[in-house]
Amino acid sequence: MKTCPLPMTPLRQRMVEDMHMRNYSEHTIRAYLHCVADFARHFRTSPAHLGPEQVRAYQLFLVQDKPLAWPTVVQTVCALRFLYRVTLGRPTMLDYIPHPRRPFMLPTILSQAEVAVLLTTPRNLKHRAILTTLYATGLRVAELCQLQVTDIDSARMVVRVRQGKGHHDRYVMLSPKLLPLLRQYWQQYKPHPWLFPGNPRTRPLVTRTVYTICRDAGQAAHLPKALYPHMLRHSFATHLLEAGVDLRRIQLLLGHRSLPTTSRYLHVTPHVLHATPSPLDALPLETPL
């Protein structure tokens, strides 16, 4: 299998099979295997030989000594819980692998003016098409990489997202400004079947390349923030909310499973904040001379 470059031990093979049977995405499989491999390397032995004390010590190591970003810690916890509950058949271990509380982080967004500068900066047509597609559709970077030419439906003015996060298909809008750019890009590059092919052209673009394209474009545009693909997705959602699009519709466009996940954009939307009066405004205070 191409899923894992590390030696395929029996335990690793079984974990891969367990995740495939449950229809986990290739991205999740690679991430979980990487987390479990780091856990095994830390103690220099197979996880099958490790128990509650080692798991607790490793979690403290990740949080206190490393330390890792919280999403990485959460992902490691999920990987270990899957390993012990499913692959090793030790569900009682879940009591020793608690889910950490995620800190609430506001998304970093670009202003519309910053997006406009960014999208006109790259000279490379493919790079400009990639950045514009990310912003115009709000796709995740992995969803962008999996786009096929046939997913662009100009007759209905929609873009089909195949098996997005959680293995759900959905449609997003095809902007009238994006369509001519994609046509120009197609005429020059003739991509097939992937809209944004990688190297070789028979393979889709890898997410790492998109991160590099975003970083370089952000630097060339002299943006004050380090640009990454998800920032364009955050900007897509926030700008829609500022334009008056309701949260439920934005939730469907983003492919979020729960509305609370989408509602965090309320915290960074100026018109929502400005439209809410302070309780001070209701007090019968006289304005000082």
Residues noted as catalytic: 140, 165, 230, 233, 256, 265
**What distance separates the 2 farthest-apart alpha carbons in the chain?**
81
Q: Indicate the angle between helix axes 26-43 and 52-60, nearest 10 degrees.
A: 100
Peptide bond between residue 200 and the one before it cis (omega within 30 degrees of 0):
yes
Query: What does the block give as tokens for 89?
Result: 């058949």
Chain centre distance of CA 39: 24
Contact between 220 and 120 (Cβ < 8 Å): no
Integer Rg of the chain from CA: 23
Peptide bond between residue 193 and the one before it cis (omega within 30 degrees of 0):
yes
The alpha carbon dihedral of 88, 90, 93, 97 has a sign of positive
CA pair distance 254, 132, nearest whole angstrom? 16
Contact between 139 and 172 (Cβ < 8 Å): yes
Provide the residue count of the chain.
289
Amino acid identity, residue 7? P
CA-nearest of 133, 172, 170 to 156 is 172
CA pair distance 72, 226, nearest whole angstrom? 20
